[in-house]
């Protein structure tokens, strides 16, 4: 081989080596980022005796970790391909579908034939002996269609007097563009999937459909008007619940006079009896109020016949225990999760052994609860009196003893005083098997409101905030009832427009909806 050929071969090898080095560097950098994300995620999760993140919050770092894992795998594949190009024997990992795709999804098949089926030895046509089949998940971006309605007219050719034609069906927007299903999709996209109208308008524009956010808002407002009887009946149901959960979250509302926003609040009321196997339907209802004072829960809880109010220790709820009612004053049931959060902070920030022991005792109460989750109230009550009561009985004097040993102005002392001050409400779960240890059922419903608020920034006015609360109530109740909210809202709007009687409004409640998903075939 002459010198020029050797030089060319050497240059080629150097180029391939450079490709391998670049690919390996990408692998190392991706691996470093992945390890950093995982370490951060592990610190945040902290373990059983720590305050765990909510599933939605914890998914965020995990999504970043999974993305980094994908970068790492792609970089490794690139490095392996470069090594194979240099003649190195690197076995390829088998690629198999993970899991099984639902059978109701349509299948579009394609057959990839080899370039030639003639035997290389000249024997003639080769015979088919089998095939490899793989399935991959594909998507058609939100596909719009035009629903054309024709109403033929019929007339008598003899007398030319009578004309027969079907009546035009009622629509949410008379003479307008949207179907009830499309409006339901818009509602759930905003109040369930946290997409403001202006973002939805941008998505539609990519499909060649020019709809401004004002038009979308008008359509949804019309639907909200028709759905009001459903919301009112849900409220009537909720008033009969024996035990409800209550919490509140901030709701910024535009204040045009000041060219700024003012703070209103969404108050969430939840009835969820699944924890003790109750027969009552799960209901979520949001109320908008311009403030957070005691006047607001007094107003929207007027007429409720329940005995127990599960809440945090916010002082506005104390006023509810003083009002005269036929069912007697409200009994407040406080949340052990709120207590636990305080001691988690003390342990994380100070490494306090007292906080660590307190977390251990609270964890024991939750372990007992886990064994009776979804069982009858009587079974739960027996287990609590047998196992939880001794833990609680020993915990109070222990807290009092620790309080006498530590500086009274310390944050730990304040946390212990907070716990002891709310002790009657914290241990009320020992007297009734229908009660829960915490307010998680309502806190889980507050989180989606916070996400929508973050994306939408604020409500345009107080009336808009009230409509927001109503539609969010409907979507949340569908979700807690394991009902597809798009299908439910579309079918309910059609039923109301077709004259469903008010006397049978119970039939339109989300928990009675059993229509199969529109995605199933």
Of residues 515 and 27, the one with the higher pLDDT is 27
Of residues 8 and 484, the one with the higher pLDDT is 484
The answer to the question of residue 513 being in a domain is: no
Question: How much is the average pLDDT of 241-251?
Answer: 87
Coil vs helix vs strand at 374: coil
Alpha-carbon dihedral 201, 206, 208, 209, rounded to 10 degrees:
-10
Q: How far apart are CA 444 and CA 66, in angstroms?
A: 25
**305-347: pLDDT as tens digits:** 889 999 998 888 888 888 888 888 899 999 999 999 999 988 9
**366-404: pLDDT as tens digits:** 999 999 998 999 999 999 999 999 999 999 999 999 999
The pLDDT score that the predictor gives to residue 512 is 92
**DSSP states of 182-212:** HHHHHHHHHHTT---HHHHHHHHHTTT----
The answer to the question of residue 365 being in a domain is: yes
The pLDDT score that the predictor gives to residue 398 is 95
Question: How much is the average pLDDT of 488-506?
Answer: 93
The pLDDT score that the predictor gives to residue 257 is 55
The answer to the question of residue 216 being in a domain is: no
Q: Is the pLDDT assigned to residue 237 strictly greater than 60?
A: yes
Count of alpha carbons within 13 angstroms of residue 378, beta-carbon side:
0
The answer to the question of residue 358 being in a domain is: yes
Contact yes or no for 183/172 (Cβ under 8 A)? yes
* Among candidate residues 422, 443, 464, the one where a domain is terminated: 443
Q: How many domains are there within the chain?
A: 2
Q: Is the pLDDT assigned to residue 55 strictly greater than 60?
A: no
Contact yes or no for 201/216 (Cβ under 8 A)? yes
The answer to the question of residue 222 being in a domain is: no
Question: How much is the average pLDDT of 287-304?
Answer: 85
The pLDDT score that the predictor gives to residue 329 is 86
Of residues 280 and 250, the one with the higher pLDDT is 280
The answer to the question of residue 475 being in a domain is: no
Token pair in block for residue 256: 């045009």
**166-207: pLDDT as tens digits:** 888 888 888 888 899 999 999 999 888 888 888 899 988 888
How many percent of the chain have pLDDT more than 70?
Answer: 81
**402-415: pLDDT as tens digits:** 999 988 888 899 99
Kindly report the backbone phi and psi dihedral angles of residue 195, in degrees, each rounded to the nearest multiple of 5, phi listed first: -105, 110
Domain span including residue 326:
238-443
Q: Apex CA 224: angle with CA 258 and CA 179, to 5°?
A: 120
Q: Is the pLDDT assigned to residue 294 strictly greater than 50?
A: yes
Kindly report the backbone phi and psi dihedral angles of residue 222, in degrees, each rounded to the nearest multiple of 5, phi listed first: -65, -40
Kindly report the backbone phi and psi dihedral angles of residue 491, in degrees, each rounded to the nearest multiple of 5, phi listed first: -65, -35
Q: Is the pLDDT assigned to residue 511 strictly greater than 90?
A: yes
The answer to the question of residue 451 being in a domain is: no
Q: How far apart are the first and last CA of the chain?
A: 68
The answer to the question of residue 311 being in a domain is: yes
- Most confidently modeled range among 6-10, 19-23, 77-81, 470-474: 470-474
Q: Is the pLDDT assigned to residue 62 strictly greater than 80?
A: no
* Among candidate residues 443, 462, 481, the one where a domain is terminated: 443
**Pairing assessment for the beta strands 154-155 and 163-164 based on DSSP bridges:** antiparallel
Q: At 37, is the pLDDT very low, low, confident or very high (cuts 50, 70, 90)?
A: low
Q: Is the pLDDT assigned to residue 519 strictly greater than 80?
A: no
The pLDDT score that the predictor gives to residue 290 is 82
């Amino acid at each position: 081989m002459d010198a020029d050929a050797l030089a060319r071969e050497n240059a080629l090898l150097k180029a391939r080596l450079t490709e391998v080095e670049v690919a390996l560097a990408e692998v190392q950098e991706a691996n470093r980022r992945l390890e950093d994300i995982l370490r951060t995620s592990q610190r945040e999760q902290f373990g059983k005796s720590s305050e765990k993140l909510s599933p939605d919050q914890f998914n965020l770092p995990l999504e970043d970790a999974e993305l980094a894992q994908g970068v790492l795998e792609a970089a490794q594949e690139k490095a392996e391909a470069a090594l194979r190009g240099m003649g190195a024997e690197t076995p390829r990992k088998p690629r198999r579908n993970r899991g099984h795709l639902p059978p109701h999804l349509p299948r579009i098949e394609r057959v990839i034939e080899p370039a030639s089926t003639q035997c290389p030895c000249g024997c003639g046509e080769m015979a088919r002996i089998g095939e490899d089949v793989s399935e991959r998940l594909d998507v058609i971006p939100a596909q719009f269609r035009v629903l054309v309605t024709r109403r033929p007219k019929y007339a008598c050719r003899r007398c030319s007097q009578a004309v027969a034609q079907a009546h035009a069906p009622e629509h949410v927007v008379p003479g307008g563009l949207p179907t009830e299903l499309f409006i339901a999709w818009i509602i759930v996209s905003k109040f369930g999937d946290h997409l403001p109208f202006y973002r939805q308008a941008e998505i539609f524009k990519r499909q060649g459909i020019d709809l401004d956010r004002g038009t979308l808002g008008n359509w949804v407002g019309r639907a909200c008007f028709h759905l009001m009887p459903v919301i009112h009946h849900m409220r009537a149901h909720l008033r009969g619940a024996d035990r409800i959960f209550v919490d509140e979250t901030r709701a910024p509302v535009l204040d045009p006079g000041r060219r700024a926003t003012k703070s209103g609040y969404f108050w969430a009321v939840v009835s969820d009896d699944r924890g003790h196997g109750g027969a009552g339907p799960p209901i979520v209802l949001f109320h908008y109020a311009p403030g957070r004072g005691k006047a607001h829960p007094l107003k929207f809880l007027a007429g409720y016949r329940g005995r127990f109010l599960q809440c945090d220790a916010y002082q506005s709820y104390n006023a509810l225990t003083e009002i005269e009612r036929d069912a007697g004053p409200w009994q407040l049931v406080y949340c052990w999760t709120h207590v636990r959060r305080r001691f988690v902070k003390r342990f994380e920030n100070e490494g306090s052994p007292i906080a660590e022991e307190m977390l251990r005792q609270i964890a024991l109460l939750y372990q007992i609860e886990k064994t009776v989750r979804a069982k009858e109230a009587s079974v739960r009550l027996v287990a609590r009196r047998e196992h939880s009561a001794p833990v609680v009985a020993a915990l109070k004097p222990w807290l009092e003893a620790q309080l006498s040993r530590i500086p009274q102005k310390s944050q730990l002392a304040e946390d212990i005083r907070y716990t002891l001050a709310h002790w009657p409400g914290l241990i009320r779960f020992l007297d009734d098997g229908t009660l829960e240890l915490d307010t998680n059922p309502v806190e889980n419903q507050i989180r989606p409101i916070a996400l929508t608020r973050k994306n939408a920034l604020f409500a345009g006015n107080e009336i808009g905030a009230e409509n927001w609360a109503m539609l969010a109530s409907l979507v949340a109740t569908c979700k807690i009832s394991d009902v597809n909210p798009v299908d439910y809202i579309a079918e309910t709007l059609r039923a109301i427009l077709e004259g469903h009687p008010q006397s049978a409004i119970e039939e339109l409640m989300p928990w009675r909806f059993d229509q199969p998903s529109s995605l199933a075939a």
